[in-house]
Amino acid sequence: MNKLLIANRGEIAIRIMRTASRMGITTVAIKTALEPAAPYLATATEIYDNTAFTTAVPVFLDVDRIIAIAQEVGADAIHPGYGYLSESAYFAQKCIDQNITFVGPAPDAIYKMGNKTIAKRIARKIGIPMVDGSEGNISDADQAIKIAEKIGYPVIIKAASGGGGRGMRIVRKPEDMERNFNVASNESRKAFNDPSVFIEKYIENPKHIEIQVLGDTHGNVVHLGERECSIQRKSQKLLEEAPSSALDAKLREEIAGAAVELAKAVKYFSAGTVEFLLDADKKFYFMEMNTRIQVEHPVTETVTGIDLVEQQIKVARGEKLAFKQSDIKMKGWAIECRINSEDVQSGFVPSTGRIEKLEYPSSKHVRIDSGVTEGTTITTGFDSMIFKLIVSGENRKDAIENCKKALDELWITGIKTTLPFFRMLLRNEDFVKGNFSTSFVENKLDNFVLADKNEEALAAWIATKLFFEEHFSDDSNLDYEKGKDLGPWLLNRRIGQF
C-alpha cells in the first residue's frame, strides 16, 4: 500500500491520515465545493480538487466517483472512515474489482452484518441471545402493529441498513405507529438509500455495551474489550467510556466471547464492533454489528495502547495480527465526550455559525480528535459532531476528575455546543456512580446544562452591563463640534445654497 485515498472528511479523515503518514503511506484527501477550506485538507499529502464536480449526492457517497478519483490519483487503497460508504458491500466489492485495497472487512461480511435480518439469523444460529422482533423487514405500519401486539409494547423501529440512531423510533402505543413508521422509513431512505425497517421488542433502560473486535485475513480474531455507550440521546451516542463499570471479568469474557464467535462466523477481518444491550438483570442481547471503525474507537485505543487504524491498514495489507488475545492488556480508564454543534438548551438542535475562538485543554490525559479550527463555519450540511475530547485516568474516578478539568479549560465561542451538557453530566451523582442506562439523558435529567446560581447572577450583571453601556456610557466620545467644523469649501457652498 503506497497511496491511500480517504473517502471521508472531518475529524476521522484527519485521524486516519495521521496514522497512515506515520506508516509512510501517501494520503489523498478530496476537496469538495461545500467546504473547500476544510481543516482535514491540510493533513493530506495530496489534495484532489473535486469542487467543480457538484451533484445532489455528496462525493463521499458516490461509488463511481470515488473509484474514478482513486484511479486518477493512482491510489492503491481507499479508507472509507465511518458513515458514508464505510458499510457499503457494493463499494467494497467495486474496490476489489478495480484492484484497489478496501481498508475494511470483506464485502460478504459487510453485507451479512449490514443487513440486520441476516445478521440476526447468523447470531441466532450460533446461540447468541437476542430480543424478540419481526423476522425480517416489515412493509407497513399495519404489519408493525400486528407484530407489536404479539411481542408487546414498547417496540423499536429500526432501519434495516442503518446505524447511528438514524431511522430509529420507539413506539409505545399503536396510534403512534404510523407516524413513527413513516419517519423512520423516510429517514432511513435518506440516510442509507434503503427505506426498509424492522421492529423488535424495546428493552427498557438497558445499558449499551459494545465489543471491539479485530480480525486478520488468516482467520485470527481477537477482542479489545468493551466500550459503554449508554449516555445517548435519541439513540445518538454522546459519551463513551472504556471499560464499562457494569461488567465484571466473568461477564466481560462471556460477552466478548460471543462477539468473537460472531466475527468468526462471518470470517470477519479488520476492525469491527458488536453491539449488545445489557438489561437490569445483567442479561445481554445481541443488537447489531458495525463493520467499520467507530466514532468512539479512541477510548479503546487509549486503554489498550493499540492504534486501530494502523491495525486496519496492516490487515488490509494481508499481514497477520502481531498479538494474541492474551497479549492484550487494558490499563486505566478512558472517557470520550462528543462535542457537537448543538444547542443543548433548545433540545439538542443543530447550531450553526462560525467558530470564533477555540482553545483546547492541554494535559497529558487529553487527546483531541478534531475536524475544525478557529474560523471553521458550521453549516447544516454535515453531521453536527465537530470534535471529540478523549480523557484518560488511572481509574474511572480519576478519569472523571481529569475530564471535568479538561471541560473547564475548553474554550469555544461562535456556536453552541454540547460542552455545558458534559460539564453537568460529569458532576451528576448517578453518572459518577455508574448508575445510568440508555434512557438516562431523556428520563433522568431535569436540566441539560450545569445550572450554577452564581453564574446566573453573573449573566444578569453582564446583560445589565450591556444595556448600561448602550444607553448610559460616557458620551464624551461623541464630538458635536466636529460635526460643526466644516471646511470653507463646503461651508460656503452649503450656506450659499440657502
Partner 1 sequence: MEDILEPSQERNPGKLWSPSFIIKLNRMDLSGKNYKDFIDRNEALKKQYSPERAEKQHSKGKLTAHERISLLFDPGTFEEIDAFVTPADTPVEFGKVEKTYGDGVIVGHGKINGRLVFAYAQDFTIMGGSLGYVHSKKIAKIQEMALKMGSPIIGMMDSGGARIQEGVASLSGYASIFQNIIQSSGIIPQISLIMGPAAGGAVYSPALTDFVFMVNQTSYMFVTGPNVVKEVLNEDVTSDQLGGAEVHATKSGVAHLIYDDEENTILALKKFLSYLPSNNVENPPVLQEDATPDINEKLREIVPDDPNKPYDVKEVINLLVDRNSFFEISELFAPNLVIGFARIKGKTVGIVANQPKVLAGVLDIDSSDKGARFIRFCDAFNIPLITLEDVPGFLPGYEQEHKGIIRHGAKMLFAYSEATVPKITVILRKAYGGAFIVMNSKSLGGDFSFAWPTAEIAVMGPDGAVAILYRKELAEAKDPDKLKAELVKKYRDKIANPFIADESGYIDEVIDPAVTRKKIVSALNALSNKWVKVPARKHGNMPL
Partner 2 sequence: MNMMNIEKLIAVSSSGKDFEFEMPLKDKIVIQGEEYDIKLYYTEESGLYLVWNGKKYPVEIVKSKQNKYEILFNSISYSFTIETPFSLQRMKVLKVNKPSVGNISVKAPMPGKIVDIICQKGSKVSRGEPLLILEAMKMENEILSPIDGTVLSVSVSKDSTVMKDDILVEIEEKKG
Contact residues: partner 1, CB under 8 A = 33, 354, 375, 377, 470-471, 475, 477-480, 482-484, 486-487, 489-491, 493-495, 497-498
- Separation CA 137–CA 197 (nearest Å): 5
Q: Which amino acid is at 447?
A: N
Judged by CB under 8 A, does residue 454 bind partner 2?
yes
By CB under 8 A, name the one of 464, 486, 493, 494 that touches partner 2.
464
Angle at 183 between CA 179 and CA 186, to 5 degrees: 135
Select the span of 27-35, 45-53, 416-424, 436-444 touching partner 2 (CB under 8 A): 416-424
With b for 16 or more beta-carbon neighbours within 10 A and e for fewer, the 153-186 pattern comes to: bebbbbbbbbbbbbbbbbbeeeeebeebbeebbe
Size of the residue set binding partner 2 (CB under 8 A): 55
Contact in structure between 27 and 45 (CB atoms under 8 Å): yes
Residues 372-391 that bind partner 2 (CB under 8 A): 380-384
Which residue's CB is nearer to partner 1, number 33 or number 280?
A: 33
Residues 135-174 that bind partner 2 (CB under 8 A): 166
**Residue 482 binds which entry of partner 2, partner 1, none, with Cβ cut-offs from 5 to 8 Å by kind?**
partner 1
Cell (9 digits) for 213? 473486535
Select the span of 30-38, 243-251, 265-273, 462-470 touching partner 2 (CB under 8 A): 462-470
Q: Which residue has the cell 469538495?
A: 32
By CB under 8 A, name the one of 37, 322, 462, 491 that touches partner 2.
462
Which residue's CB is nearer to partner 1, number 350 or number 434?
A: 350
Select the span of 146-154, 197-205, 261-269, 350-358 touching partner 2 (CB under 8 A): 350-358
Contact in structure between 160 and 137 (CB atoms under 8 Å): yes
Residue in 232, 261, 236, 259 with CA at minimum distance from that of residue 247: 259
Neighbours of 324 (CB within 10 A): 9
| Burial of 449 per CB tally in 10 Å (0-12, 13-18, 19+) | middle
Query: Does the active-site annotation cover 292?
Result: yes
Helical (H) or strand (E) element with 181: helix 177-192
Given 65, 233, 292, 423, the catalytic residue = 292
Q: Least CB distance from residue 356 to partner 1, whole Å?
A: 10
Select the span of 116-124, 259-267, 299-307, 414-422 touching partner 2 (CB under 8 A): 414-422
What distance, in Å, lies between the first and last C-alpha atoms of the chain? 84
Catalytic residues: 292
Which residues contact partner 2 (rule: CB under 8 A)?
Answer: 166, 179, 182-183, 186-187, 190-191, 343, 345-347, 349-352, 356-357, 380-384, 411-414, 416-417, 419-420, 423, 449-451, 454-468, 470, 472, 474-476
